[in-house]
Amino acid sequence: MIPSNTICVSQEGPANALALNKDCSQVVIAGRNVFKVFSIGENDFSEVCNLRVGKNLNLNFSSIDVAWSTIEENTLATAATNGAVVVWNLGRSGRSKQEHVFSDHKRTVNKVSFHLTEPALLISGSQDGMMKCFDLRMKEVARTFISNTESIRDVQFSPHQAHTFAAVSENGNVQLWDVRRHERCLMQFTAHSGPVFACDWHPEQPWLATASRDKTIKVWDTIDRKPNLEHTIYTIASVGHVKWRPQKTYQVASCALVLDCAVHVWDVRRPHVPLATFAEHRDVTTAIAWLADPHTFLSTSRDCSLYRHRFSEAAHPVLWANPHGVCVSARGDLAHAAPERPLPALPARCRPAPAERHLPGLGRKQPTAGSLSAGAQAALERAFPGGASSTLLRYSAPPHNALLQCAAHYRMRGAPPHVLAEHNANVARANNRHMVSHVWEVVRCVYEARAAGRGSPAPPRSKEPPRPEPPPLPPYTHTYNSAVEEEPLEEVEEWAETQFHNSGVLGKPTLSIYIPPSKPSKHARSLDDENTGWVSAASAHYVDVDAADWTLPEEAFPLRSAPPPPHALGAHTTPAPTAPPHTLRHDDKDHTVVPRSGGGTSPGGSSSPGSGSSGSSGSACTAPPNLDHSGYHHHSNMHMEEGGEGCDGGLAIRVGDNRSPQLDVAPLLAAALRQHADLGDVQTPAVVMLVLQDHRSDLFPYIEESLQEHWLLGYIELLQRHKLWNIATEVVRSAWISSVWVVSQQSTSVALCCGRCGRRWRRAACDCAGARAAGRGGAAVCAVCRRVVRGLYAWCQGCGHGGHLQHMRAWLQRHQLCPAGCAHRCQLA
Within 6-45, which residues bind other proteins (CB under 8 A)? none
Residue type, 23: D
What string of DSSP letters covers 726-790? HHHHHHHHH--SHHHHGGGTTT-----B-TTT-PBPSSSS---HHHHHHHHTT--B-TTT-SB--
Please say which residue, 192 or 270, places its beta carbon nearer to other proteins. Answer: 270
Q: Which of 235, 242, 187 is nearest to 214 (CA)?
A: 235
Q: Which of 700, 672, 666, 695 is nearest to 685 (CA)?
A: 672
Query: Residue 828 gets which letter from DSSP?
Result: B
317 binds other proteins (CB under 8 A): yes
> Minimum distance from CB of 266 to other proteins (Å)?
12
User: Longest C-alpha distance within the chain, in Å?
Assistant: 127
Among 92, 139, 394, 501, binds other proteins (CB under 8 A): 394
Residues 783-822 that bind other proteins (CB under 8 A): none
Q: What are phi and psi of 435, to 5 degrees?
A: -65, -40
Instruction: Choose the stretch contacting other proteins; rule: CB under 8 A; options: 230-238, 415-423, 442-450, 576-584.
Output: 230-238
The Cα 291–Cα 651 span in angstroms is 94
Contact 622, 521 (CB under 8 A): no
Among 58, 329, 512, 526, binds other proteins (CB under 8 A): 329
Strands (E), 573-673: none
HSE-CB at 254 with a 13 A cutoff on CA atoms is: 36
Residue type, 476: Y
Please say which residue, 184 or 382, places its beta carbon nearer to other proteins. Answer: 382
Residues 651-690 that bind other proteins (CB under 8 A): 674, 676-682, 685-686
Q: SS3 sequence, 222-272?
A: CCCCCCEEEEEEECCCCEEEEEECCCCCCEEEEEECCCCCCEEEEECCECC
The Cα 94–Cα 408 span in angstroms is 97
> Minimum distance from CB of 330 to other proteins (Å)?
4
432 binds other proteins (CB under 8 A): yes
User: Within 10 Å of residue 395's Cβ, how many Cβ atoms?
Assistant: 10
> Minimum distance from CB of 471 to other proteins (Å)?
27
CA 715 to chain CA centroid, nearest Å:
22
The Cα 582–Cα 90 span in angstroms is 101
Among 395, 511, 752, 758, binds other proteins (CB under 8 A): 395
Among 68, 177, 715, 795, binds other proteins (CB under 8 A): 715
> Minimum distance from CB of 4 to other proteins (Å)?
13
The Cα 157–Cα 113 span in angstroms is 7
Please say which residue, 266 or 514, places its beta carbon nearer to other proteins. Answer: 266
Among 400, 508, 763, 776, binds other proteins (CB under 8 A): 400
774 binds other proteins (CB under 8 A): no
Within 116-200, where are the H helices? none
Burial class (CB in 10 A: 0-12, 13-18, 19+), 467: buried
Number of residues that bind other proteins (CB under 8 A): 100
Please say which residue, 336 or 567, places its beta carbon nearer to other proteins. Answer: 336
What angle, 0 to 180 degrees and rounded to 10, lies between the N-to-C axes of helices 683-692 and 725-734?
Answer: 50
Instruction: Choose the stretch contacting other proteins; rule: CB under 8 A; options: 46-54, 78-86, 324-332, 630-638.
Output: 324-332
Please say which residue, 584 or 677, places its beta carbon nearer to other proteins. Answer: 677
The Cα 38–Cα 45 span in angstroms is 6
CA distances from 625 to 66, 462, 464, 479, 523 (A): 105, 10, 11, 29, 11
Q: What are phi and psi of 637, to 5 degrees?
A: -65, -40
Please say which residue, 395 or 649, places its beta carbon nearer to other proteins. Answer: 395
Instruction: Choose the stretch contacting other proteins; rule: CB under 8 A; options: 203-211, 398-406, 509-517, 591-599.
Output: 398-406
325 binds other proteins (CB under 8 A): yes
Please say which residue, 397 or 668, places its beta carbon nearer to other proteins. Answer: 397
435 binds other proteins (CB under 8 A): yes
> Minimum distance from CB of 754 to other proteins (Å)?
17
Please say which residue, 387 or 460, places its beta carbon nearer to other proteins. Answer: 387
> Minimum distance from CB of 816 to other proteins (Å)?
37
HSE-CB at 166 with a 13 A cutoff on CA atoms is: 28
292 binds other proteins (CB under 8 A): no
Instruction: Choose the stretch contacting other proteins; rule: CB under 8 A; options: 35-43, 288-296, 721-729, 765-773.
Output: 721-729
Residues 687-706 that bind other proteins (CB under 8 A): 706
281 binds other proteins (CB under 8 A): no
**What phi-psi label fits residue 455: left (phi over 0), alpha (psi between -120 and 50 degrees) or beta?**
left
424 binds other proteins (CB under 8 A): no
Please say which residue, 193 or 706, places its beta carbon nearer to other proteins. Answer: 706
The Cα 317–Cα 366 span in angstroms is 8
> Minimum distance from CB of 460 to other proteins (Å)?
24
Report the run of H or E that residue 38 belongs to, with start and end. strand 35-40
Residues 135-194 that bind other proteins (CB under 8 A): none
Q: Which of 339, 324, 318 is nearest to 381 (CA)?
A: 318
Contact 271, 233 (CB under 8 A): yes
Please say which residue, 20 or 412, places its beta carbon nearer to other proteins. Answer: 412
337 pairs with which residues across the strands? 325, 392
> Minimum distance from CB of 747 to other proteins (Å)?
7
Among 591, 721, 762, 809, binds other proteins (CB under 8 A): 721
Contact 129, 109 (CB under 8 A): no
Instruction: Choose the stretch contacting other proteins; rule: CB under 8 A; options: 25-33, 178-186, 317-325, 654-662.
Output: 317-325
Among 215, 309, 585, 634, binds other proteins (CB under 8 A): 215
Residues 70-99 that bind other proteins (CB under 8 A): none
Q: How many residues does the chain have?
A: 829
Please say which residue, 312 or 531, places its beta carbon nearer to other proteins. Answer: 312
Residues 330-369 that bind other proteins (CB under 8 A): 330-342, 344, 346-347, 349-350, 356-362, 365, 367-368
323 binds other proteins (CB under 8 A): yes
Query: Residue 516 gets which letter from DSSP?
Result: P
> Minimum distance from CB of 679 to other proteins (Å)?
5
Please say which residue, 196 or 239, places its beta carbon nearer to other proteins. Answer: 239
Query: Residue 521 gets which letter from DSSP?
Result: P
Residues 232-271 that bind other proteins (CB under 8 A): 234-237, 259, 270-271
> Minimum distance from CB of 567 to other proteins (Å)?
33
434 binds other proteins (CB under 8 A): yes
Among 8, 9, 402, 652, binds other proteins (CB under 8 A): 402
Q: Which of 280, 276, 279, 367 is nearest to 320 (CA)?
A: 367
Please say which residue, 432 or 578, places its beta carbon nearer to other proteins. Answer: 432
764 binds other proteins (CB under 8 A): no
> Minimum distance from CB of 465 to other proteins (Å)?
23
> Minimum distance from CB of 203 to other proteins (Å)?
26
Residues 612-641 that bind other proteins (CB under 8 A): none
The Cα 704–Cα 239 span in angstroms is 61
x/- track of binding to other proteins for residues 724-763 (CB under 8 A)? -----------------------x----------------
